[in-house]
Structure 1
Amino acid sequence: MTNSSDFREWGKEMVDYIADYMDGVSERPPLSKVKPGYLRSLIPDEAPQYPDKWQDVMQDIERVIMPGVTHWQSPHFHAYFACGNSYASILADMLSDAIGCLGFSWISSPACTELEMVTLDWLGKMLQLPESFLTCTEGSKGGGVIQGTASESTAMALLSAKMKTINKQHELDPDKDQYEIMSKLVAYTSEYAHCSVERASLISSVRMRKLPTDAKFALRGDTLAQAITEDKANGLIPAFVCVNLGTTTSCAFDNLAEIGAICERENIWLHVDAAYAGTSFICPEFRPLADGLEFADSFNFNPHKWMLVNFDCSAMWVRNQIDLVSAFHVDATYLKHEHQDVVVDYRHWHIPFGRRFRSLKLWFVLRLFGVTKLQEHVRKHVSLAREFESFVRQDDRFEIVADVVLGLVCFRLKGSDTLNEELLDRVTKTGKIFMVGSHLNQQFIIRFAVCAAQTESEDILYAWNAIKEEVDGLQVNNNK
C-alpha cells in the first residue's frame, strides 16, 4: 500500500513527466505506428504477485504505452475534431479522483450536484442560451446536466421524446397498446448526422429517417416538412428531430430556424447537436450560427472538444426537466433522502447511476481562462483554418469542397477518388501529420481540422508542405 509520502514524491515526478510530455508532444509522430497486438509481448502474462517498483512503472510508460499512443494534443494532429486539454482541467481531474464521490444524488455529495448546476448556468449564459434552459431563471422548468458524450445526450433526448410521445398518445386514446405506438414512432436527422444519432435510434428502437441536404450539406425545413407529411399519411407518428450544428463530415449547419418552426407546429421534440461547433457560440460573431435555439427542447455540445476541458464533459440542457426525469425515474429506498423533493438528483438525468465530479474541471477552466481567453482560443483556431484554406486555394491542383466556417477545411485533389485516397495514404505513411477522409456527395474528400491548443501558423505551413511533397511525388509516379 502506498502512503501520502509516496504520493507526494511520485506525484511530483508524474507532474514533471506530464509537463515534459506536453512541451515535447510536437516531436512525437502524431499517429501511432504499432501493429495490432503489439502490447501483449511487452508485459508479463499475469499481474505481479507482489508490488512493482514505482520507477519500473515510470520506465514502462515510454517502453509500453507511448509507442501505442496517437497524440491528439500534437499540433500535427488534424484528424476528427479537437480533444480538449489544459493544465487547469488536468488539475481538476486530479482533485475529482481524490474526492472519489459518486454523485448520483444531492446527498451523496452536495457540492457535486450544486457546482454542476451553477457552472452549467454560467456556460449557458456564455452561449446566450434561451433563459428557459437555465436553472437560475425564475420559474424555469429547464436545466443542464453533464453527460459523458454527445452520443449519450442524443440517446437521452430520443428516449425522453419516445416516452413523452407514448404518454401523449395514451392521453388521446387510453386503449392504445404501448408497443403498437412504439412501432409507429419515427425520428429524423440529416444524411450527414454523426453516426451516434443512428446508434441512438438503435438503442431506443425508434426508426430513423436520414434526410437529404441542400448544396451546403444542410438539412432544410421543406425537406423535413415533406417527410413528416409522408409519414403521417402512412400512419406513422413523428416524434423526434435531431438538428446538427457543425456536422462531423464538413461542419455544415442545418437550418435550425426553419426546422424549429416545423417542430413547434407539429409538437415534435427538437434536439440540437452542436458537439464541436457549440464552443464557438461564446463568440458574438459565431452565435448567429445557433439562431433558432428558442425552438429546441434539448441542446448539447462538448466542452471536451474545443473548450480546453478534458474528456469526458458533454453539456446538455433541456427546456423541461420533467420530460427527461420522468422517463428515467427510479427511487429505491437506499437512494432516498430528506431533501429529494427540493433538490436535483442527477441519477434521473442520464443512463448510469454513478457519476464523477465532472463539473470541477469545467469550473477550473472557466475560472482560470475566463471568457476572453476561451474566445481567443476559438478565434485563433478559426484563423489557422483560414490560413490552410488560403494555401489550398492558391494551388490550382486542389479544390475546397465545403464552406470553411470554423476550424475544419474539407478539400481534395481535382481528380478521382482513388487519387485522393492514395494521397491521404501517402501523407499518413510519412508520419508527419494525421488527417482522415470522408465522403460528401458520394465523393471522397480529405478533412483538415485544427485540433491541438498548441497549434501555430508554422504548424499549418508544415502540414501544407507535407501534403504538397506527397502530391508532387504522386504526380511523378502517375506520369511514369
Structure 2
Amino acid sequence: MDWDAFAHWGKHISDWAADYHKTLPERPVRAQTSPGEIAAQLPPKPPETAEAMEDVLSDFERIVMPGITHWQHPRFFAYFSANAAPPSMLAEMLVTTIAAQCMLWQTSPAATEMEGVMVDWLRQALGLPEGYTGVIQDSASSATLSAVLSMRERATGYTGNRDGLCAKGNLRIYCSDQVHSSIDRACWVAGIGQENLVKLPTTGPRYALDVDALRKVIADDLDAGHTPAGIIAITGGTGVGASDELGPVLDVAREHDLYTHLDAAWAGAAMICPELRAEFWQGVDGYDSIVFNPHKWLGAQFDCSIQFLADPQPQLNTLKIEPEYLKTSGDAVTNYSEWTIPLGRRFRALKIWFLIRSYGLEGLRQRIRNHVSWSCELCEHIRGMEGFEIVTEPILSLFSFRCPGDDSNQQRLVDALNDDGRIYITQGAFDGRKVIRFQVGQFDTTREDVMMAGDVIEDVWRKTA
C-alpha cells in the first residue's frame, strides 16, 4: 500500500467510524454469535499473494463485526466501561501514524515531557497534594504489580531481585475481601503467593476494610515470624464499589512502616468532582502508590492508567535496569521505562491532552455527576419492582440487585437480558449470593438510555419468570 492509497482508505475508515458510532443504538450491545462461529469463517491458511483492501474491509464487515460486543454502546452497563471519547480516538490515530516507541526521553522527548505534565494535570484534577509524581501505565493491573513488587523489595531491603525469595520468609500483604483479582495475580507474579495475600472482612455501608481486624492480623503475623510488606486499599471496588476508610488504613500502615497502594481504578476518576472527595478520598494524602484509569470513566481511549507515586524511588529501585545501550548522556532526564515493567512504551499522554482540552474538567465532571444521579434513579425504579431486592445500595454509579428466586434465576435473567440485546449487564457475587450488577459509565449514555434499562429488565423478566 502506498501513501495515496493509505489516505484514501483512511478517509473511508474515518467515515465508517462516524457512521458506526451514530448507529450504535440500533445494534445489539453484546455480540450475538456462538463460540467458534467467527473462527470458522477465517481461512485456515494465510494468503500467499496480496489481496485488495476492498475485499479485506468487506470481510471485516461480514466476519468481524457480528462478533463484536459494542463497548461504546450507550446501553453498555456491564463491567466498567472502557470509554473512547472522539478526541482521544483522534489522538490515537496520530499516535499510530507517528508510531514512536517512547521508552526513553531521547526516543521521543515530546512524549516524555507531555507525560510528566499530563500526570500533574490529573494530580491537580483529583485534588492530590503537590509532590506526587507518576507514570502512565497500560492498565491498573500493571500499576498494582509494580506496587506489589516495590512492597516486596522494600520489605527485603531491596535484595529480592538479586537473591530471589528463598530464605526471605513469608512476606505478607493485606487487603479486604473486595479487592479486584488483579491483586491476587500481582501476588502470584511477584512470588508472594496466594496464601500470603491476607484478605480481611469489610464493615459498614461502603464495605470498608475492617481496620481492627487488620491490626490484629498484623500483630499475629509478627508473632508468627512473618514479614508484613504492604497494604492495598480500594476506592470503588469492582464487585459492589467497596471503598475503604483511607485515613485509618494509612494509620495502621504507618504504625508498622508498610508500603501502601490504593486501587482507585474506576472510582478515582470521580474524584475530579470536589463534592465527592469528602466521602471517598479523605486520607488519600500519604499513600505511596495510587492508580486510576482515565480509560474508564474519563473517556480516554484504552489503554491508559495513571500511577501516582508519593516518592518514585522505591519503584525505581525495584524496576530500573540500565544496560549500556539504554543509557542517556547529557543533561539529566526522566526515562519512564525505568518506572514500569515493560521497556517499550506508547505515547499515551497525547490522548489525555486532547481529551482534557476538548471537554475541560467541568465537562467531564458533569458526565460523572449525571451517571451517579441516573444510577440512583434507576435503582429506585428497580426497588419498586415486585419481588426485586436491592442488595447493595449505589456507590457512585454502581449498585446490585436480585430478581425473585434463587441464584439460578439471577443467572437466567442476566443471560436473557444479554441475549435480548437491548442492554448488556453482568452477574456478580456478594455475601455468598449471586447478584445482578449494574453500572452507569458509558461516555455518551443518556438518562433515557439508563431508564430504558429498567423497562427492559421488567419486560424480559415477565417473559422469563
| Shared fold, TM over 0.5 | yes
**Match of residue 312 from structure 1:** 303
Q: Deviations over 1:271-293 (max 9, x none)?
A: 00000001000001112211111
The structural deviation recorded for 1:103 is: 1.2
The residue that corresponds to 1:324 in the other structure is 315
Distance 1:226 1:118 in 2: 42
Aligned to 1:370: 360
1:346-388: CA deviation from partner (whole Å, max 9, x where unpaired): 1111111010111111111011111111111111111221121
Give the letter for the 1:468 counterpart.
E
Query: How does the TM-score come out when normalised to structure 1?
Result: 0.92
Q: CA deviation at 1:425?
A: 2.3
* Whole-Å separation in 2 of the counterparts to 1:426 and 1:41: 26
Q: Is 1:245–1:254's contact at 8 Å kept on the other side of the alignment?
A: yes
Deviation at 1:401, TM superposition (A): 1.4
Cα 1:393–1:40, aligned 2, differ >3 Å: closer, same or farther?
Answer: closer
- The alignment-based identity, stated in percent, is 36
Return the offset for 1:53. Answer: 1.3
Measure the CA separation in 2 of the matches of 1:158 and 1:386.
35
1:434 corresponds, among 409, 424, 427, to 424
1:5-55: CA deviations, max 9, x gaps?
A: 112211111100000111111111111121222223323222222222121
* Aligned twin of 1:107: 106
For 2:296 and 2:332, the matched residues in 1 are separated by 33
- Counterpart mapping for 1:27-42 below 5 A: 27-42=26-41
What residue is the counterpart of 2:20 in the other structure? Answer: 21
2:244 matched residue in structure 1 = 254
- Check conservation: 1:73, 1:451, Cα contact below 8 A: no
In structure 2, what is the Cα distance between the partners aligned to 1:35 and 1:166? Answer: 49
Q: Which runs of 5+ in 2 are unaligned?
A: none
2:287 aligned partner: 296
Displacement of 1:178? 6.2
Which of the residues 269, 274, 286 maps onto 2:276? 286
Asked whether 1:265 is paired with 2:264, we answer no
* Distance (whole Å) between structure 2 residues aligned to residue 342 and residue 301 of structure 1: 28
| Structure 1 residue 395 displacement after superposition | 2.0
Whether the aligned pair in 2 keeps the contact of 1:166 and 1:178 (CA below 8 Å) is no
- For residue 181 of structure 1, report the CA deviation from its aligned partner: 5.4
The answer to whether 1:214 aligns with 2:200 is no
Counterparts of 2:29 and 2:167, CA distance in 1? 49
In 1: Cα distance, 2:423 partner to 2:29 partner: 6
Q: Secondary structure at the match of 2:435?
A: strand
The alignment status of 1:457 with 2:447, answered yes or no, reads yes
Bigger drift between 55-64 and 151-160 goes to: 55-64
2:175·2:198 contact (CA, 8 Å) conserved in 1?
yes
The equivalent position to 1:241 in structure 2, one of 206, 210, 231, is 231
Deviation at 1:132, TM superposition (A): 2.1
2:171 touches 2:226 (CA, 8 Å); kept in 1?
A: yes
- 1:102-141 counterparts in 2 under 5 A? 102-133=101-132
User: 5+ residue gaps in structure 1?
Assistant: 134-142, 171-176, 476-480
- 1:180, distance to aligned residue in structure 2 (A): 4.8
Distance 1:415 1:168 in 2: 53
1:274 matched to 2:273? The reply is: no
Aligned CA-pair RMSD: 1.6
- Give the direction of change, closer, same or farther, for the CA distance of 1:235–1:390 in structure 2 (3 Å limit): same
User: What CA deviation, in whole Å up to 9, does each residue of 1:54-84 have, x standing for no partner?
Assistant: 2112212210111110111112211101111
The match for 1:384 among 342, 353, 374 is 374
1:50–1:65 CA distance, 2 compared to 1 (3 A): same
1-structure distance, mates of 2:451, 2:350: 37
Contact 2:177 2:202 in 1 (8 A): yes
Look up the match of 1:417: 407
Q: How far apart in 1 are the matches of 2:315 and 2:46?
A: 43
- Is 1:401 aligned to residue 400 of structure 2? no
| 2:220 counterpart SS class | helix
Q: Distance in 2 between matches of 1:223 and 1:169?
A: 30
Aligned with residue 188 of structure 2, among 202, 226, 230 = 202
CA distance in 1: counterparts of 2:159 and 2:305, whole angstroms: 32
SS at the partner of 1:231? Answer: helix
Q: Aligned-pair distance for 1:473?
A: 2.9
Distance in 2 between residues matched to 1:453 and 1:348, nearest whole Å: 33
